[in-house]
Amino acid sequence: MPKWGYSIAEEELDPEKTVKASGRELRVSYKSAREICKTIKGMMLNQAKRYLRDVMIKKRPVPFARFNKKAGHRRGLEKAFAGRYPVKAAKHIVKILEGAEANAEYKGLDTERLRIIHASAYPGMKIKRYMQRAFGRSSPKFQTLCHIEVALEERPEPGGKV
């Protein structure tokens, strides 16, 4: 079993106030996952879960800044003009956020004050397959897997001591 690292430096994370969770080798488009992670970074945990559930029912779009070729305009976007509804990636990221929330409960952190300080997605290994074609030929049918990482931090209470 490989030991997975995180793309965020360990020195940046206070082990008393932060939690991490990740999904490795997921069968999700890493382009969609990257755009979702960019959107939810900096949100509070409850706000991010509500946003992703709205994406899953196609109520709110995810702004696509980098991978936006042939993506249509969507109503309600502030950061970009093109947007999509990546339902499958949103489902997986909600699962990862719920795992991070469970880790926070285990550590004794207040889940109402958790904020996403790190969210990243990057490509994993490729599953290489070939599809048979006519006249003895074949075409590649590769699938790129995806790694998704999330780190949450407990914010201090407004107007109170930590």
Helical segments of 57-141, H only: 87-107
pLDDT tens for residues 86-111? 999 999 999 999 999 999 999 999 99
Tokens of 116: 């996403």
Helix (H), strand (E) at residue 114? strand 114-127
Question: Which CATH number do you get for residue 142?
Answer: 3.90.470.10
The size of the chain, in residues, is 162
> Cα–Cα distances in Å, from 35 out to 7, 18, 81, 86?
17, 23, 13, 9
pLDDT of 159 above 70: no
In a domain, 43, yes or no: yes
Asked whether residue 1 is domain-assigned, the answer is no
- Predicted pLDDT of residue 160: 59
Domain span including residue 139: 18-154
- Per the structure, the count of domains in the chain is 1
Would you say residue 160 lies in a domain?
no
Q: Which of 52-56, 68-72, 125-129 has the lowest mean pLDDT?
A: 68-72
Residue 162 lies in a domain: no
pLDDT digits (tens, 9 = 90+) for 106-140: 999 999 999 999 999 999 999 999 999 999 999 99
